[in-house]
Structure 1
Amino acid sequence: MRIGVAGTHGIGKTTLVEDLSTRNPDHVSVAEPYVLLEDQGYEFGYPPSPSEYMVQFKASLRLFRRPAPKAIFDRTPLDFVAYLRASGGELESDADVEALRSALTSLDLLVVIPITTDTERSLPPADFAELRKAMNDALLDLVYDDSLEVLGGVNLIELDCPLGRRTEQVSKALTRLA
């Protein structure tokens, strides 16, 4: 299965990806583009600019083009569209929308992690609170309005459960899909 985990920064995506990878050792864990690009020497602003979110969007698309049939992605290209919207940017072309559609429809499951009362109470405060909230809202709009028409029939689960139940909820969704 190809699983994409989406959500704003400081929401526990990486922890969930690590937990899912432990439970599914036959799956490849794919780090988020920010980390991979930094490892290659790319220096981002703090916070990244809209053009830097576009760089991450394109890197994410490249990761999604890899033919790994069993992968867990820490972030999806949709995350960067949400960050672009939250920071005043937009996709550059119709080709970007088509590439986004192709990437997302390659997923067997899209896991969306929204900001909840539990996350705000349980997780350490994240930097850039306004950007974090704006990205969260933009992501949820993109997912539920699908104004770009990029989700097609992608299976989706929103994790609004307590942090300790996230892995279990995703595992149940994967069992239903299998």
Structure 2
Amino acid sequence: MRIAVTGSHRVGKSTLIDLLGEELEGYRLAEEPYLLLEEEGYEFATPPSLEDFVEQLRFSAELLHAEKDARDILFDRCPVDFLGYLQAHEDAEAFDLEEWLPRVRSAVQTLDLIVFVPIDAPDRIRLRAREDIHMRTAVDEALCRVLLDDPYELGVEVLTVHGSADARVKQVLERLGRG
């Protein structure tokens, strides 16, 4: 299966992907677009600009299409993540969502499953004082709208996971018929 793990920052996506990689023998991990772009020499602003998120969106969509024939792969993030960040960004009005939706739909429809890791209540991740809690929450809310309210009609199954890292792994494995 082609699985993407999505969610705001500091919700446990990387931990979940690492644990799933241990459980799902033969699965390959596709690094998140931010890291891949950095390896290619892309320089991100601090904090990332609207243009930085658009570039990650573009790259993520291209990555899904480039890997469309690959099976048994775990993607750390997918284009939906960047829709969340773009909608939560302070310059969101400058982003043309309608222009990007066809590309996002086309890319995510190459996936078999999106695993959504929302912010749990109570929050399971301790945040550092300097982290932007408001941005994190706004991204989570935007992702809930995109993935769960489905006004965007993405056409891919979404599994929302909750609880401890082990509980999340178990939920994914059960969905895959391996639990």
State TM-score, norm by structure 1: 0.89
Mapped contact 1:78–1:100 kept (Cα < 8 A)? yes
Structure 1 residue aligned with 2:60: 60
Q: Which secondary structure does the structure 2 equivalent of 1:175 belong to?
A: coil
Q: Deviations over 1:134-166 (max 9, x none)?
A: 0000000111222222x22x2221112233311
Shift of 1:98: 1.4
Q: Which secondary structure does the structure 2 equivalent of 1:4 belong to?
A: strand
- For 1:78 and 1:91, the matched residues in 2 are separated by 14
- For 1:128 and 1:45, the matched residues in 2 are separated by 15
- For 1:160 and 1:144, the matched residues in 2 are separated by 14
- For 1:168 and 1:13, the matched residues in 2 are separated by 14
Q: Which secondary structure does the structure 2 equivalent of 1:11 belong to?
A: coil
Matched, 1:112 2:141: no
1:23-172 equivalent positions in 2, closer than 5 A? 23-65=23-65, 66=67, 67-87=69-89, 88-89=91-92, 90-91=95-96, 94=99, 96-118=100-122, 120=123, 122-125=124-127, 127-149=131-153, 151-152=154-155, 154-172=156-174
Runs (4+) off by over 4 Å: none
- For 2:24 and 2:35, the matched residues in 1 are separated by 22
Matched, 1:16 2:47: no
Shift of 1:23: 1.2
Structure 2 unaligned residues grouped into runs of 5+? none
Query: Please, what is the CA RMSD of the aligned residues?
Result: 1.6
Q: Which secondary structure does the structure 2 equivalent of 1:42 belong to?
A: coil
Residue type matched to 1:166 in 2? Answer: R
Mapped contact 2:3–2:115 kept (Cα < 8 A)? yes
Structure 1 residue aligned with 2:175: 173
Mapped contact 2:5–2:78 kept (Cα < 8 A)? yes
Shift of 1:92: 5.8
Shift of 1:49: 1.0
Shift of 1:41: 1.7
Q: Deviations over 1:14-70 (max 9, x none)?
A: 111111111113111011000111122212112211111000001101110122122
- For 1:136 and 1:24, the matched residues in 2 are separated by 27
Q: Deviations over 1:79-116 (max 9, x none)?
A: 0001000003234653x211211111111111001001
- For 2:39 and 2:126, the matched residues in 1 are separated by 25
Mapped contact 2:15–2:165 kept (Cα < 8 A)? no
Residue type matched to 1:50 in 2? Answer: L
Structure 2 residue aligned with 1:6: 6
